[in-house]
Amino acid sequence: MRWAVTLSATSSAIFLAGTALAQPVPSSIRPELRPVTETVSRAETLLPVVVANTTVARPQARPAVLTSQTSAPVEDSEANAGFQRWIDGLRGRALSAGINSATFDRAFQGVRYDPNVIKRDRNQSEFTKTIWEYLDSAASDNRVSNGKDALRAHDRVLTAIEAKYGVEKEVVVAVWGLESNYGTFRGKNDVVRSLATLAYDGRRGEFFEGQLVAALRILQSGDTSPRNMTGSWAGAMGHTQFIPTSYLDYAVDFAGDGKRDIWSDDPTDALASTAAYLSRFGWTKGQPWGVEVQLPRGFDYATANRKVTRNPGQWANLGVVGVDGKPVPNHGAASILLPAGGQGAAFMIFKNFEVIERYNAADAYVIGVGHLSDRIGGGAAFQAEWPRGDRALTFSERQEMQRRLTAAGFSTQGVDGKIGPKTLEAVRAFQQAQGLTADGYASLSLLKRLR
């Protein structure tokens, strides 16, 4: 699914779009931004996440997260006057793309401009959560318990799905848990109305018009009806929140009723579609997404880089071992990930980490899915402590850090407020020059030092 999301792995901050979390009630937890992603004011909801300098694809392509310096929303009065004219123009383009007139007219019957969708899109004011705060919710005791219940309740179909696609059922359930809180928060927005409103608005018009035409193709295929096609305000649909283009490419009819139904209370097709998606991108059964590890004294933090891969035995020779003190079993090439720099948990990650990234590229989301699946399967909580005294940098602080690093001779190749590879390199270089641990952790204390 994949809209653009952004989490700065190096600063351990997850930049969430949406409303602040309120008190309890579980919902979607994608650090995501599923479109930059919908969110709900509920406690166990994971808001859309934005991951710095990454583009994700939850089975889909989520639009990149934009900053506040974007065009103003269309005024409601103007929208009410022009929306129908835009639909008339869209009709010709849709028909040229193979949508028949009956499908188009049925889909748009009674559809009006939705100003609330635009408000949601514009009010994605950036606020931040640290990765540990995100994971506290993603793998909370309640979410783990509900995941075990869901696994038992749907064990027969999940076992069959695992047998066909080679994706462990715990992983499929974990995605379900983070995307819709096991089907309890699938979104109630009319997808055609939402996508049409966003396409008409124009800020990301081309993307949303493409999703809208894909939604019309789904309707034309007979998989669902226009008003039954509901989802998030940005068009992500069903139990595991597929956007229309991803649905067309990866959804499956596992129930065998002739329809790929990801919207109904029965999650069979949605769960199978998620497994099919992960399988399509190379899931290796039996390989973990990652393993928590201990780093030795004097660890070379420059090797904690996704581009540096070694097998677990080679890492063990360098002193990197599991939390039990033993070498990690050989699951293939692996790299070391430090989402909170040298001050938090360290992970040895394998190829399956990259596969989950295809669903949502935010490191927090991938770790959340992986850890939740491990916990559902009976695994333990992470052993390492996080630097809970830290807070995430704000957007303006990240920009300031980039400006100050560049001024100090450590160029970040631009000031965009995203802690991506270039900024990471600059942070490491500055840390080395200052005699600090060169772990690339873009912390508030580092910004204060730059000041």
pLDDT in tens, 1-57: 644 333 443 444 544 332 222 223 334 554 333 333 333 333 343 433 433 333 333
* CATH fold of 81-120+187-280: Helicase, Ruva Protein; domain 3 (1.10.8)
The domain ranges of the chain are 81-120+187-280, 395-450
What is the pTM assigned to this prediction?
0.84
pLDDT in tens, 129-138: 899 999 999 9
The pLDDT, as a whole number, for residue 77 is 60
Which residues, in sequence order, are bridge partners of residue 135? none
**How many CB atoms within 10 Å of residue 248?**
16
pLDDT in tens, 325-363: 999 999 999 999 999 999 899 999 999 999 999 999 889
Residues 55/4, Cβ–Cβ less than 8 Å: yes
pLDDT in tens, 247-279: 999 999 999 999 999 999 999 999 999 999 999
3-state secondary structure the chain: CCCCCEEECCCCEEEECCCCCCCCCCCCECCCCHHHHCCCCCCCCECCEECCCCCCCCCCCCCCCCCCCCCCCCCHHHHHHHHHHHHHHHHHHHHHCCCCHHHHHHHCCCCCCCHHHHHHHHCCCCEEEEHHHHHHHHCCHHHHHHHHHHHHHCHHHHHHHHHHHCCCHHHHHHHHHHHHCCCCCCCCEEHHHHHHHHHHHCCCHHHHHHHHHHHHHHHHHCCCCHHHCEECCCCCECCCCECHHHHHHHCCCCCCCCCCCCCCCCCHHHHHHHHHHHHHCCCCCCCCCEEEEECCCCCCHHHCCCCCCECHHHHHHCCCEECCCCCCCCCCCEEEECEEEECCCEEEECHHHHHHHHHCCCHHHHHHHHHHHHHHCCCCCCCCCCCCCCCCCCHHHHHHHHHHHHHCCCCCCCCCCCCCHHHHHHHHHHHHHCCCCCCCCCCHHHHHHHC
The pLDDT, as a whole number, for residue 49 is 42
Q: Which residue has the higher pLDDT, 63 or 291?
A: 291
The whole-angstrom separation of Cα 27 and Cα 180 is 5
Q: Which residue has the higher pLDDT, 62 or 83?
A: 83
**Alpha-carbon torsion (60, 195, 43, 147), positive or negative:** negative
**Burial class for 156, CB neighbours closer than 10 Å (0-12, 13-18, 19+):** exposed
Residues 6+ apart with CB under 8 A from 88: none
Distances (CA, A) of 280 to 65, 135, 246, 276: 26, 27, 12, 6
Torsion over CA of 424, 427, 429 and 432, rounded to 10 degrees? -130
Q: How many CA atoms lie within 13 A of 235 on its CB side?
A: 37
Phi, psi (rounded to 5 degrees) for 334: -145, 155
Q: Is the pLDDT of residue 302 over 70?
A: yes
Calculate mean pLDDT across residues 298-319.
Answer: 95
Which structure tokens are listed for 122? 């514009």
Q: Kindly indicate the confidence band of residue 447, based on its pLDDT and cuts at 50, 70 and 90.
A: very high
Percent of the chain with pLDDT over 90: 72
Distances (CA, A) of 74 to 70, 78, 194, 199: 12, 7, 14, 12
Which residues, in sequence order, are bridge partners of residue 230? 190
Calculate mean pLDDT across residues 374-398.
Answer: 93
Mean pLDDT for all residues in the chain = 85
